[in-house]
Amino acid sequence: MNLLGIIVALIFLYFSLMTAMYFGQRSFLYHPDTNLEAPARYGVPQMQILTDITQKGLSHWYGASSKPEYPVIVLFHGNAGHLGYRAFKARVYLEAGYGVLLVGYRGYGSNEGSPSEQGLYEDGRTALATLTSAGIDPEKIVLYGESLGSGIAVQMALEGYGKSLIVEAPYSSMADVAFHHYPIFPVSLLLKDQYNSFQKIGKIALPKLFIHGMKDRVIPIKFGKRLYSNAVMPKELHQIETAGHNDLYEHGAALIVLEFLAENFPELQ
Give pTM, 2 decimals.
0.94
Model confidence pLDDT, tens digit, residues 58-86? 999 999 999 888 999 999 999 999 999 99
Percent of the chain with pLDDT over 70: 96
> How many CA atoms lie less than 13 Å away from 6 in the CB half-sphere?
3
Q: How far apart are CA 153 and CA 189, in angstroms?
A: 24
Of 12-21, 37-46, 148-157, the one with minimum mean pLDDT is 12-21
Model confidence pLDDT, tens digit, residues 176-230? 999 898 888 788 888 999 999 999 999 999 999 999 999 999 999 999 999 999 9
User: 3-state SS of the chain: helix, strand, coil percent to 5?
Assistant: 45, 15, 40
Beta bridge partners of 104: none
CATH 3.40.50.1820 fits 3-268, yes or no: yes
Q: How far apart are CA 150 and CA 268, in angstroms?
A: 25
The terminus-to-terminus CA distance of the chain in angstroms comes to: 75
Model confidence pLDDT, tens digit, residues 150-184? 999 999 999 999 999 999 999 999 999 998 988 88
Residue 263: pLDDT over 70: yes
Q: How far apart are CA 151 and CA 170, in angstroms?
A: 8
Q: Does the CA dihedral 248-261-201-79 come out positive or negative?
A: positive
pLDDT of amino acid 1? 63
Q: What is the amino acid identity at position 192? A: K
Per-domain residue ranges for the chain? 3-268
Residue 55: pLDDT over 70: no
